[in-house]
Structure 1
Amino acid sequence: MVYEMTFQFQVADFKSGVTWYSILLNRKPDFTAHDGFAEWELLPGCWLQIAHGHPSGNSGPLRLGVFSIEEERDRMVKEFGIEFFDIQSREEVPVKWATFSDPWGNRIGFFEYIDEGEKQNKINDRERIK
């Protein structure tokens, strides 16, 4: 039985990586065990780790569910100067999504439920497990 998970990106410049991901996630790391390592608990038991190292390039994407994919895309363009990226959708898929890269080549993305009722159910589920 799986009860927790971690996902790790490596960054060549750790200090810049922590700053970049702190802006992306709108908060400082929850845990810093030692130099060159930081973690954010994104959801209960779901951790994103940033470690100093050699990025493998094109890892991911790690996609994060957001309230408004358009607002988050605009924030990424403004905050990081990321090139404007397209939002994708398909009729048979209940979400729209987009992918971009951090400065080290790690692929990240966002997704948003198209149906507002389904989106609210997911948000309510998250609140129940807090």
Structure 2
Amino acid sequence: MIFEVTYQVRVSDFTEGLKWYKVLLNKDPDFMPHEGFAEWEIIPGCWLQVSEGTTTEGSGPIRFGVLSIENEKSRMSKKLNVESFEIFSREEVPVRWATFNDPWGNRIGFFEYINKHEESNRVKTILENRLEI
């Protein structure tokens, strides 16, 4: 049984990487067990690790579900100087999505449910399932 997941990105400058990911995720790390390593629990049981090291070319993307991809695009531009990125959609796909690179080449992105009722149901399901053991 799988009950948690971690995803790791590497940055060549940990101090700058820590600052960048704090802004991206709107919070301080949840866990910093040693120098050059930080973890954020994105949602219960889902962790993003930022580690000092050599970036793996073409890694990712990891995309985060957001309520407004337009708001996040604007925030990334203003707060992290992320160059404008394109938001994609396809008729048969229930979300809009976008991908961009962090300063170390890791592919990061967002997705937003098009149908807000579906989005609400998904959030409700996630919250309910985290309480089941």
TM range (shorter): over 0.9
Supply the AA of the counterpart residue of 1:108: I
Distance 2:122 2:22 in 1: 24
The residue number in structure 2 matching 1:123 is 123
The residue number in structure 2 matching 1:12 is 12
Distance 1:79 1:40 in 2: 19
Distance 2:117 2:58 in 1: 34
Q: Does 1:75 align with 2:75?
A: yes
Identity of aligned residues (%): 55
Distance 1:57 1:102 in 2: 12
Partner deviation per Cα, 1:29-58 (whole Å, 9 max, x = no partner): 000000010000111111000000001122
The residue number in structure 2 matching 1:99 is 99
TM-score (norm. length: structure 1)? 0.96
| SS of match in other structure, 2:22 | helix
TM-score (norm. length: structure 2)? 0.94
Where does structure 2 lack aligned partners over 5 or more consecutive residues?
none
Contact 1:57 1:104 (8 Å CA) reproduced: no
Q: Over the residues paired in the alignment, what is the CA RMSD in angstroms?
A: 1.0
The residue number in structure 2 matching 1:56 is 56
State how many pairs are aligned: 130
Residue 111 of structure 1 and its aligned partner are, at CA, apart by 0.2
Distance 2:81 2:104 in 1: 14
Supply the AA of the counterpart residue of 2:59: S
Distance 1:123 1:41 in 2: 16
The residue number in structure 2 matching 1:89 is 89
Residue 122 of structure 1 and its aligned partner are, at CA, apart by 1.5
Distance 2:82 2:36 in 1: 25
Where does structure 1 lack aligned partners over 5 or more consecutive residues?
none
Distance 2:16 2:122 in 1: 32
The residue number in structure 2 matching 1:111 is 111
The residue number in structure 1 matching 2:45 is 45
